[in-house]
């Protein structure tokens, strides 16, 4: 599975940086999804 | 903490466009290298990948308990239609229930001040069924000038178009 991205826009240069989440960020992301699914079992838990 | 508020009460010019962020299934988006504006306004529209979640606003990558925020509105997802955070929360909520199209607007005062805390307020609308409409307010308890702003869904991802404006 491709990891979600992190977007940063530099307001001085207007440069846009898109990167994949690192291991630590991705672990937190998955934990947040798990917490969400536990709290909202009736919702569609699909992830874009 | 002495704050000279008279220095903040001056006439203001019109809003100046700063930048656009167009996240696509992103876990967060950030406006970085912000400088020189007394006021900042972030606004736009998009949708989240998960229903019933909040979008969280943080400054300068500060994920500590330095925020104080609340949200008032109408939705079954908000107990008593009020969402209050502790005085030591880790974010300011700017959107609730964002699986449908979500619009929000949030304006921040004292953005470049190194004396005053940063206070802000805004509105949010979500077309998620049932829809949600609300107002939000919050404080970042820091005397650092704002150099970056990050919006992160509480869980899932965000897709949309968001804009940053500044005013002096």
DSSP helix/strand/coil, A36: helix
The chain B residue lying nearest A36, using CA atoms, is B155
Taking 70 as the threshold, does the pLDDT of residue A29 lie above it? Answer: yes
**Would you tell me which residues 6-45 of chain A have a C-beta closer than 8 angstroms to some C-beta of chain B?**
6-14, 16, 18, 21, 25, 29, 32-33, 35-36, 40, 43-45
Q: What average pLDDT does range B101-130 have in this prediction?
A: 90
| pLDDT band at residue B101 using 50, 70 and 90 as cut-offs | confident
Q: What is the ipTM of this complex?
A: 0.86
Q: pTM of the predicted model, to two decimals?
A: 0.87
Confidence band, pLDDT 50/70/90 cuts, at residue B145: very high
Cβ count near B138 (within 10 Å): 23
Q: Kindly report the average pLDDT of chain B as a whole number.
A: 86
What would the mean pLDDT of B89-100 be, rounded to a whole number? 82
Handedness of CA A30, B124, B43, B62 (dihedral sign): negative
For the ranges A24-33, B46-55, B73-82, the one whose mean pLDDT is highest = A24-33
Is 70 exceeded by the pLDDT of residue B84?
no
- The answer to whether A48 contacts B156, with C-beta atoms less than 8 Å apart, is yes
Q: What pLDDT is attached to residue B3?
A: 63
- DSSP per-residue codes, B48-104: ESSTT-EEEEEETT--SS-EEEEEEEE-TTSGGGEEE--TTBS-EEEEES-SS-EEE
Q: What is the mean pLDDT of residues B46-64?
A: 89
Please list the helix, strand and coil fractions of chain A in percent, rounded to the nearest 5, in that order. Answer: 35, 25, 40
Residue A2 sits at the chain B interface (C-beta within 8 Å) = no
Percentage of chain B lying above the pLDDT 90 cut: 56
Counting residues of chain B whose pLDDT is more than 70, the rounded percentage is: 83
Q: Which residues of B touch A (CB under 8 A)?
A: 18-35, 49-53, 154-157, 159, 164
Of A4, A43, A46, the CB nearest to B27: A4
Kindly tell me if the per-residue pLDDT of B16 is higher than 50.
Answer: yes
Helix H or strand E segment including A26: helix A23-39
CB-nearest partner of A10 from B27, B29, B32? B32
Rounded CA-CA distance A10/A17 in Å is 8
Contact list in B for residue A46 (CB cut-off 8 A) is: 49
């Amino acid at each position: 599975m491709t990891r979600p991205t992190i977007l940063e826009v530099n307001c001085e240069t207007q440069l846009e940086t898109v990167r994949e989440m690192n291991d630590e960020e991705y672990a937190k992301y998955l934990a947040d999804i798990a917490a969400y699914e536990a709290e909202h079992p009736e919702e569609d838990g699909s992830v874009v | 903490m002495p704050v000279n508020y008279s220095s903040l009460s001056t006439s203001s010019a019109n809003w100046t466009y700063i930048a656009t962020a167009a996240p696509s299934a992103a876990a967060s988006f950030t406006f970085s290298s912000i400088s020189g504006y007394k006021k900042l306004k972030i606004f736009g529209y998009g949708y989240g990948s998960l229903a019933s979640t909040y979008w969280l606003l943080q400054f300068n990558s500060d994920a500590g308990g330095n925020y104080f925020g609340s949200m008032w509105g109408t939705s079954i997802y908000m107990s008593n239609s009020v969402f209050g955070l502790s005085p030591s929360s880790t974010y300011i909520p700017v959107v609730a229930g964002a699986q449908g199209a979500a619009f929000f607007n949030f304006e921040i005062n004292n953005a470049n001040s190194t004396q005053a805390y940063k206070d802000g307020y805004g509105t949010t609308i979500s077309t998620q069924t049932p829809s949600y409409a609300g107002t939000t307010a919050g404080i970042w308890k820091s005397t650092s000038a704002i150099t970056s702003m990050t919006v992160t869904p509480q869980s899932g991802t965000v897709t949309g178009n968001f804009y940053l404006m500044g005013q002096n």
